[in-house]
Structure 1
Amino acid sequence: MLQRLVNLLRGSVCLEVEGAFPERFLNLCAQRGILFWRVEWLETTRLRVTVTRGGSRQALLLGDRVLCSVTPVGRKGLPYFLARFRRRYAFLVGLTLSALAVCILSAFILTIEVKGNVNVTTAEILTELRRQGLGVGAFGPALDERTIGNKVMLQLPELSWLSINLYGIRAEVLVREAVPAPEVADESQTGSIVATASGIIIKIDALSGDALVKPGDTVVAGETLISGTVRLESAPYSADPYMGSYQVRASGQVWARTWRTLTARIPLEAQVKAYTGEEYTRWIFTCFGRDTVFSGKGGISFDRYDKIRNTWNLTLPGGREMPLAVIRETCRAYQLETAPVDRTAAEELLQERLLTQLEELTGEGEIVSTSYSAVEREGMLEVTLRAECREEIGRFAPDPITQENEADP
């Protein structure tokens, strides 16, 4: 296979030798160092042999010495293929420019791939890389990958590790996101657990502090559930039943049955777009992130319009997009008109938003039952959600004295 490739690059000529002693022609070729192969006897006095392009001229001259006629019957290889275009100057110029473009463009970054990110978006990482000098069109040999990576990590504290690997025109960016440190409670800050909503206590687990309520009690929002003031009881024979108290940071969970009422409103009329039929189109060529308008350079005379962009990227056979694209930008003019809102759709929208808000309020709790009511009032549709829930209503509230001590420094 390798020998075939070599013969293809240097070229070969198929010769037909005819005479009384054609084998003497082969002996002379061997003596003169002319490479030949694929010897095929056609007749007793005629054979066909293949020689290299460089040795074909000398082989033709050897025919007279052995009284044989040597005739070229075929030529193959890259030199003969290119020779067909020696008078086609436009092709030669294009081939030269293509070769130069390949040699020059291979030193620039054309595509950037980001891998390993989940919470930090690819757009954020690419934007910061561009600020530090690594972007589409950057000169690869002049880039310091380690320095750029360190600067990007300083600007994006959400990343714990970043590596940049250059593969010709492609830059591969591997990242690892930082694991957030768990929230640690400040034990030096004392306080109590208070209720965030009114309800009936179902269960209470006091890890530290004194529980002031028990299952079945009714509480209101803001009421203390687990006190941070722990009272010390004295011995049974003591005259004073309490020996004093000390402050702790109360902690625990308090579950309760709650009833919540949420309301949302939406207007029954809305401004909608009515397209006038006027359009303005222009074509844009994008190269390495720079736009060049080559058709439709006039200004847009519409007061209100929608802009629609259709992009056609240059894509390689493997699916990799190159930083070359043609964009068609269409602007459609419109006017605002007042139109009635579909009441059923508006009511369903408000119900979904209220349910989402309720789920955020209850957190890990359970929504037992829900009911909705809708009413039209002053051109607005008002939807009310009433729900029964089982949720954790305890929230830590620091003591005022602790807050004052923290504020003194």
Structure 2
Amino acid sequence: MELKKCKIKDICNINSSSISSKDKIEEIIYLDTSNLTQNEINSLQPFSFENAPSRAQRKVKHNTILYSSVRPNQKHYGILSNPEEHMIVSSGFITLDIKPEKVEEYDAMFLYYILTQDWVTSYLQTIAENSVSAYPSINANDLGNLCFSFPNINSQRKIAKSLSNLDRKISLNRSINQNLENLAKQIYDYWFVQFDFPDENGRPYKSSGGQMVYNDKIKREIPIGWEIFPLFEGADVQYGFPFSTELFTDEKTSIPVVRIRDILDGTISAYSSEPTDEKYLLQEGDVVIGMDGNFHMNYWHDNRSYLNQRCVRIRTKAGSVISSTQIFYELKPYIKAKEASVKGSTVGHLSDKDLKGLYLINPQSNRIFDPKKIFDNILSMTIHNRQQIIQLTKQRDELLPLLMNGQVSIK
């Protein structure tokens, strides 16, 4: 495969256009750097032109590549496909647009995938950490001076299409999971907050006059016949193992270690050769919580990872009617309130005492009300999709450098 070397600045217009009063725009749709991660936009904000943030400056269009200038390792980057009219992005982004005279030689999506390779991210992070600014950052010249090898335009488009197909499947699974999580939360609120679960006759319990009794432990009414258990009685609770950081390695071993940083994304960032007890082994559906800093919460998705210290896993007990989903949503308000109570630069800590002050509702099922079965089915689908996301992401990340350096070709 014949390759052509060139710098980004030779094929792209960088930070090419900014908004001004001459544009006569009344309202903008604003994208901040924190709301874009690995081409996933989680929020867009409408503003009147007069009230827009001072950083709302950069104009974008179809196939504009966005790359955050701050902390490249946080991966706040993406490529826009037919953005909304009057969409404006933060000046914290560096914008790249293929020059009009180069669009028949260079494909924007291919360039996006080149820039998102792990080695490129690591290289830019190194530059950022050596910058003179108050925080690790890069500038337009750092991106513009990057030099890459490009195959012919047809090969670029084939490679980009193959990788974007994987990304579309990943994005679809994330969207499905978001809908499943919204559904689970809606059902939880209806059954365990409003207590309008179906009674023996299929009617909403509380709204139909179902009897309620005040419970002093949780300071609210619950349906008659339901119980309140301390967390450690209603579920199986296990703290993580104090793995030695000196024995951590990037090389895969039989002991993948789940640290606080891994909980939200469900990733593994370290392995160990240190022997440990099987009681620290996680299972699919375990609720995992970080106990320092941000108290991240998530469901775990495999049966082979071990939990590190300063994390806790909470598992349903055999024969219990309490599900992982119920545990997650009952504990979340307390965990988030504890997190919010931490002041200033103080690092928050979730203690054994904190957890022992928490309670779980033990519902009473009936012939048509089986909350654990419903919640477990939803969680099973969510975990299956998450496993697919992890596998597809792994395939994409392994395929990306091979396609870029010509070791693998697409016919």
Q: Fold conserved (TM > 0.5)? A: no
Higher relative contact order (CA 8 A, sep 6+): 2
Task: Kindly indicate which of the two structures has a greater share of residues assigned to helix.
Answer: 2
Task: Kindly indicate which of the two structures has a greater share of residues assigned to strand.
Answer: 1
The normalised TM-score by structure 2 is 0.19
The normalised TM-score by structure 1 is 0.19
